[in-house]
Amino acid sequence: MHIGAAMFFTDYSMTPAELARALEERGFDSLWAPEHSHIPLSRKSPFPSGGDLPKKYYDVMDPFVTLTAAATATKSLKVGTGICLVVQRDPIQTAKLVASIDQVSNGRFLFGVGNGWNSDEIENHGIPFKSRHKAARERIEAMKAIWTKSKPEYHGEFVNFDPMMTWPKPVQKPHPPILVGGAFPYAAKRALRYGDGWMPHRARPDYENVRDLLPKFRQMAAEAERDPATVPVTIWGAKEDDDMLKRDRDAGVVRVIISLDSAKSDVILPQLDRWAKFVQAVA
């Protein structure tokens, strides 16, 4: 099992290159960057974790920019969106971004995707909140066509384009793995429908540890005629707990992600030093 780390990169955090090098030096598997295009002042949607929305959500940089900086500063560290709000992005342009960063990183990009919780943010992009799941699926299907075909086309309700030519194509074939973020059971079903992995948070109101739901997820995979090995599980959320991490590993989890504060190196590096022993213990 691997351990990765995520950070909301801001103008007051470590730089992406600085954190990426520190992670690679300590044996971490991956670096993840989230995104929010903006936070509407209407604030109709409550923060899923409860309480006030943290400042970093307003301040976060674009993930494709930060992850490109991280990729060029490292040699083996994977870089991933955690998550990319595909429903808020143009699929033709996003397909080029994904292919480009996969080229720049020489095949080290992980495409974590999600459909979002902030209704007013999504609707500012012209997508009705209740339609976001279908819109996201169409965008991903359209991007797969762009990545894998020389003259792709796609015709749906939210995405519609005639045959085109667009390069580069990704280094990874047929494309970078699409890791679908979200809770059980609905995001798990979406992962089985069009993803190459499922990336849930560890705990949600309906369950204390998503690891306990993995047998149900594998049963769902069998019913969907998907080999569970083709939809590996990455759990978002980890503690400095050797027993928990080893249970994750023994349950077949391929990766866990720790969330770091948007802070400078004097705060973050000691945390990474403590985590380094766990990275080696569960490898």
DSSP3 helix / strand / coil % (the chain, rounded to 5): 40, 15, 40
Q: Alpha carbon of 9 to those of 38, 128, 192, 264: distances in Å? A: 14, 28, 30, 10
How many CB atoms within 10 Å of residue 276? Answer: 16
Q: What is the DSSP string of 173-192?
A: SS-S-EEEE--TTHHHHHHH
Which tokens sit at 185? 């059971």
Q: What is the pLDDT of residue 170?
A: 98
Return the bridge partners of 112, or none: 179
Q: What is the DSSP string of 38-50?
A: ---TT--SPPTTS
3-state secondary structure of 116: coil
- On whether the pTM is more than 0.85, the answer is yes
The size of the chain, in residues, is 283
The band of 248, judged by pLDDT with boundaries at 50, 70 and 90, is very high
Q: What is the DSSP string of 98-149?
A: HHHHHHHTTS-EEEEEE--S-HHHHHHTT--GGGHHHHHHHHHHHHHHHHH-
Statement: residue 49 has pLDDT above 90: no
Statement: residue 232 has pLDDT above 90: yes
pLDDT in tens, 73-86: 999 999 999 999 99
Residue 175 near residue 148, CB atoms below 8 Å: yes
The band of 192, judged by pLDDT with boundaries at 50, 70 and 90, is very high
Statement: residue 34 has pLDDT above 90: yes
Return the bridge partners of 199, or none: 181
pLDDT in tens, 200-218: 999 988 899 999 999 999 9
H-type alpha helices, 197-264: 214-223, 242-250
By percentage, how much of the chain surpasses pLDDT 70? 100
Q: Name 229's Cβ contacts closer than 8 Å, sequence gap at least 6.
A: none
- Which of 150, 149, 154 lies closest to 137, judged by CA? 154
Return the bridge partners of 31, or none: 5, 79
Q: What is the pLDDT of residue 47?
A: 87
Statement: residue 48 has pLDDT above 90: no
Which of these CATH numbers, 3.20.20.30, 3.10.180.10, 3.20.20.140, 3.40.50.1980, describes 2-281?
3.20.20.30
Give CA angle at 146 (227, 193), nearest 5°. Answer: 25
The edge-to-edge listing of strands for the beta sheet with 197-199 is 197-199, 178-181, 109-114, 78-85, 30-33, 2-7, 255-260, 234-236
The letter for the amino acid at 64 is F
